[in-house]
Amino acid sequence: MNAYTVLARFYDTLNASVDYDGIYRMIDRIFKRHGIEKGATVLDLACGTGILTVKFAKSGYDMIAVDLSEDMLMTARDNSDEAELYPLYLCQDMRALDLYGTVDGGYCCLNSINYLDTEDDLDALFSRLKHFVAPGGIFVFDVNTAYKFRHTYGENTYAYDEDGVFCIWQNHVEEEPLAATFDLTFFVEGKNQSYRRLEESQRQVWFSPEAIERAYTRHAFETVAVYGSTEEEPPKDTDEALYFVIRRQ
């Protein structure tokens, strides 16, 4: 898996268009529908810079936030301190998740599961979640679709020019297995109109819905629903993400 280092500094700037409010509202609706209310303990797995962590903490959930990247967690801590909220932050690989007890619910958003490398990694993830999501607990996660890998990622190059940083984002997609490599080059503005060049690569792997379902059902989870949008619409062929809602048996 990839640990964000350079990208952590610019993640929120480059992802300013992400609909965090829509994601939060969807998960909050799902939680409440299944009896997970204010005061419940909730896991934010692969929390990144903690934007969703803060939103759920503000709503009264008792938050545990986990990420592999120390740099992302440092930003998350700053974001929650600024909001005068104090979730428990843990630096862990999701494949080796180790909490202090069980949670009532949890989520893993923004295609973080696609950063796993193999179906064995999927199996390891749900094997660990089995131990830490309480029976009856709900876990929500999203994954990128094959459509997004082939059509949105593709062999495309994107450029971002935001707040003192210029980023070139180059994609390469391979078919067997279906995966995407992202090569990022940052030019960061310094003193006297100088720029410093920084580079980082990331890789995502596509997992079929069938492979994902096999992995979680093997570890005592059952399917509640699969959606194609944060509005809980049925999946379509052109959706870029699938949203899984699963229950610990």
Count of beta carbons in the 10 Å neighbourhood of residue 127 = 16
Asked whether residue 80 falls in the same domain as residue 120, the answer is yes
Asked whether residue 215 falls in the same domain as residue 193, the answer is no
Which pLDDT score is estimated for 9? 79
pLDDT tens digits, one per residue of 70-97: 999 999 999 999 999 999 999 999 999 9
**Burial call 176-187: b when 16+ CB within 10 Å, e when fewer:** eebbbebebebb
Average pLDDT over the chain reads 95
Confidence category of residue 222, pLDDT binned at 50, 70, 90: very high
Residue 69 contacts by C-beta under 8 Å, 6 or more apart in sequence? Answer: 3, 4, 5, 8, 91
Supply the pTM of this predicted model: 0.94
Which pLDDT score is estimated for 14? 79
Dihedral (CA of 59, 63, 66, 69) sign: positive
Residue 75 lies in a domain: yes
Asked whether residue 12 falls in the same domain as residue 43, the answer is yes
Q: Which of 27-36, 192-201, 221-230, 238-247 has the lowest mean pLDDT?
A: 192-201
Domain containing 200 equals 147-205
Mean local confidence (pLDDT), 35-45: 97
CA angle 17, 34, 36 (to 5 degrees): 75
User: What SS3 class is residue 30?
Assistant: helix
In this predicted structure, the answer to whether residue 188 has a pLDDT above a threshold of 70 is yes
